Amino acid sequence: MLKLTLPWSPSVNNYYGGSGRTRFLLPKVTEFRRKVASCIPLDHETLTGPLRLLVEAYPPNKRRHDLDNLLKGTQDSLEAAKVYENDFQINDVQVKRMDIFKDGKLEITITELD
């Protein structure tokens, strides 16, 4: 089991920029990925089997946040940080909305499934 505290994720609605046919990650997404990577323990080995992901989402304010928009960016950032090989390994996902927390945060629990 791996427990992580991550910053609040940018919404997937504000994840990409574009110019013509070219799409790119926005700077705030690149920064989020850097922050996620810094939260991973140095001795962590990449997970290779099926996984369960529990996300406890502590929003930064009272706005109406669509929780499923947090998942894509969070899962992709965990993959980029080599927590697991690919997010297709996640067979079970649960997201809970929690109380407001200044600046927001995500409490992540990743469990390997048999």
**What would the mean pLDDT of 83-100 be, rounded to a whole number?**
96
Model pLDDT, residue 114: 84
Model pLDDT, residue 11: 83
The CATH number of domain 2-112, selected from 3.30.1330.70, 3.50.50.60, 3.30.70.330, 3.20.20.70: 3.30.1330.70
Is 7:35 a contact under the CB 8 Å cutoff? yes
Model pLDDT, residue 90: 97
**Checking phi first, is residue 105 left (phi over 0); if not, alpha (psi -120 to 50) or beta?**
beta
Count CB atoms within 10 A of the CB of residue 107.
Answer: 16
**CA-based nearest residue to 108, from 43, 49, 35:** 35
6 pLDDT band, cuts 50/70/90, is: very high
d(CA 94, CA 110): 11
20 pLDDT band, cuts 50/70/90, is: confident
> Domain-by-domain residue ranges, the chain?
2-112
